[in-house]
Structure 1
């Protein structure tokens, strides 16, 4: 993106539904916030006229798979077997003929996310014996083409398993050494059938390279809880507080109340977090219990238009709506909290210490026609403008 695409200001917007202001931009940052004066003479520099629209920090996608979509190709019918292992086999059988991963396909996914208000994301990228770490190179090239308007942190993800494919641990170690911000895991019990071995290997890499951990955990109820306990033990023993995330992890919502409370308490004390795609057929992560225990969580789209499922648009605000609706959240404070989780609360999942409409923060802004955050969540209106790092991405 050319330097001249930078905005000097975003005029006449209502941050979080408050009074109308102008956001004065300083490069990729918010340099000042001043009351909007409709009588003021035009200022120099490129201005995005907000027309009194609601302004929110951009929507964070904390669980994406931007490397493996067929978005932009002709329709691909769902095939293969169901279940995690069945989908893995189907994807491995067909991804080469679809040219996955590719910079072009990844760019199409990033464009879809940007149109829906996402400028920062955490993406899992497949690392396996066939691809090596090439997928990470593809994703970094696609993100770099946006000139900093979109930022992504990488999870080196062993989609085909870890220990059951000798050599994958070495690839994860290589990816971490080369700059991947996190290493991933996948159902240590049901995929590798060796939860202790998989977790020991992944945690050793994280400790050695100072990276985070992000583990897909689909295993339900007590089997899932057993693995959560193993993760808690290793996080504490290795001093990895604040660096471990559980993706999916719906087992926590399937446990008896006392058992869930104890696990959440331990996770909160160690800064272990969750990301969810709000699956409709399963119980949702319990908002109030997670908040009470200090367990952070964020939303993600998972894959969109890939060999796992034909669904997905790239709209993480839509996932937040799905979570709120499936959780029967109706009170203003809860609806507002869900929007916070989807925006300023999730910046840390993509390496952002501050992600809000405040002076000094990166200028990542989404504009919608809505009264306030609750209205925006319930109606999921079109994103009329999306700004990433001070540059207009959409609108």
Structure 2
């Protein structure tokens, strides 16, 4: 990891060429390109520069990336995948620092320097997964940041002792506590949500709930979450991951639900699932509901797919949503980068003075071109450190 004093001759968001100067791990200034490159200044060669890509929904504790190929097994569905994962994770060394480090490296090479990761907390692993994630992230010496969600993948109430583990995780510094399908997993939505919200209130942490349950069942749980968010004063602290029900509701019902969510600062994250309707971006924006994008798990016991490229997930979301106009394409890139700041605890995540010195360089004309082609990430800078640079012989030409 080479420390940098700045980046010369890059085009933020596809605009005019500029020089970006760093001060510590922050951007000090952005000025018209002067053509000066020193030993500690990265030559941007007129490439497109974007804020690094934020992964707002990851599971970096549970991948077999770096191990020999693992055959997909077990039964389909959430319950089937949980059982299969519990049966095989120990033999694969999951969780471990080594496995997590391999996943982090994949994310960084694809331009991500900040992520929100769900980390399994259950009776089998306790808090070991969180410890492994923290150690793997620490190896980057602050150049990569991870916001941690203590995640009860195996349920909360149906496994006595899990709620206490979530309490311990929150007390030990986890940023959020997670939940999972309170109705279909625990079969006690009121009980699970009351337990999670109590932990969040006591320890002043956020809540990030996986909600796969469809249509009316999902909407019922969303309403329970809305009620508790308002009653306990947790506005701006609650996120719904997946939220398939939102896209499946009749439009008038969805409009009213989104309006309330927006008023309470309840956000959503999506992994742009195939074969399912996508969260309606225009409606979320109109209601003021923030949307984040993420990879979910990559090469794990749930699915052999995934490579750590959150920009590719953004493209998948755009294509599946039939987004084709420049303004909408740009909006998707903003969601995957600048506007995801809040998902990783940042006020600002952009190529502007005062923001963290995080940038990704691509050979593309502008943000829209980068989204639809997802070209290689030629350089990735995190906290003013060069984390990844593709050899010049592989970089080819550039737009300018």
Q: TM-score scaled to structure 1, two decimals?
A: 0.98
* Distance in 2 between residues matched to 1:64 and 1:261, nearest whole Å: 28
Residue of structure 1 aligned with 2:271, choices 261, 269, 277: 277
Which residue of 1 is the match for residue 257 of structure 2? 263
TM-superposed CA distance for 1:250, in Å, is 1.3
Which residue of 1 is the match for residue 312 of structure 2? 318
Q: TM-score scaled to structure 2, two decimals?
A: 0.97
Which residue of 2 is the match for residue 361 of structure 1? 355
Which residue of 1 is the match for residue 398 of structure 2? none
Residue of structure 2 aligned with 1:134, choices 128, 131, 137: 128
Residue of structure 2 aligned with 1:15, choices 12, 17, 23: 12
Which residue of 1 is the match for residue 393 of structure 2? none
Which residue of 2 is the match for residue 247 of structure 1? 241
Is the aligned partner of 1:30 residue 2:24? no
* Distance in 1 between residues matched to 2:215 and 2:54, nearest whole Å: 28
Q: Secondary structure at 2:241's aligned position in 1?
A: strand
Which residue of 1 is the match for residue 397 of structure 2? none
* Distance in 1 between residues matched to 2:73 and 2:250, nearest whole Å: 37
Pairwise mapping of residues 1-395 of structure 1 onto structure 2 (< 5 A)?
1=1, 5-38=2-35, 40=36, 42-43=37-38, 45-395=39-389
CA contact (8 A) 1:184 1:215 kept: yes
TM-superposed CA distance for 1:120, in Å, is 0.1
* Distance in 2 between residues matched to 1:181 and 1:15, nearest whole Å: 31
Structure 1: runs of 5+ lacking an equivalent: none
* Distance in 2 between residues matched to 1:302 and 1:368, nearest whole Å: 24
Q: Secondary structure at 1:384's aligned position in 2?
A: strand
* Distance in 1 between residues matched to 2:310 and 2:34, nearest whole Å: 33
CA contact (8 A) 1:6 1:27 kept: no
* Distance in 2 between residues matched to 1:288 and 1:33, nearest whole Å: 32
* Distance in 1 between residues matched to 2:3 and 2:373, nearest whole Å: 30
Deviation per residue, 1:88-114 (Å, 9 max, x gap): 000000000000001000000000000
Q: Secondary structure at 2:381's aligned position in 1?
A: strand
Q: Secondary structure at 1:152's aligned position in 2?
A: strand
TM-superposed CA distance for 1:148, in Å, is 0.7
TM-superposed CA distance for 1:158, in Å, is 0.1
Q: Secondary structure at 2:65's aligned position in 1?
A: coil
TM-superposed CA distance for 1:8, in Å, is 0.8
* Distance in 1 between residues matched to 2:122 and 2:78, nearest whole Å: 16
TM-superposed CA distance for 1:47, in Å, is 1.3
- Aligned CA RMSD, in angstroms, stands at 0.7
Deviation per residue, 1:151-197 (Å, 9 max, x gap): 00100000000000000000000000000000000000000000000
Name the count of aligned residue pairs: 389
* Distance in 1 between residues matched to 2:101 and 2:367, nearest whole Å: 29
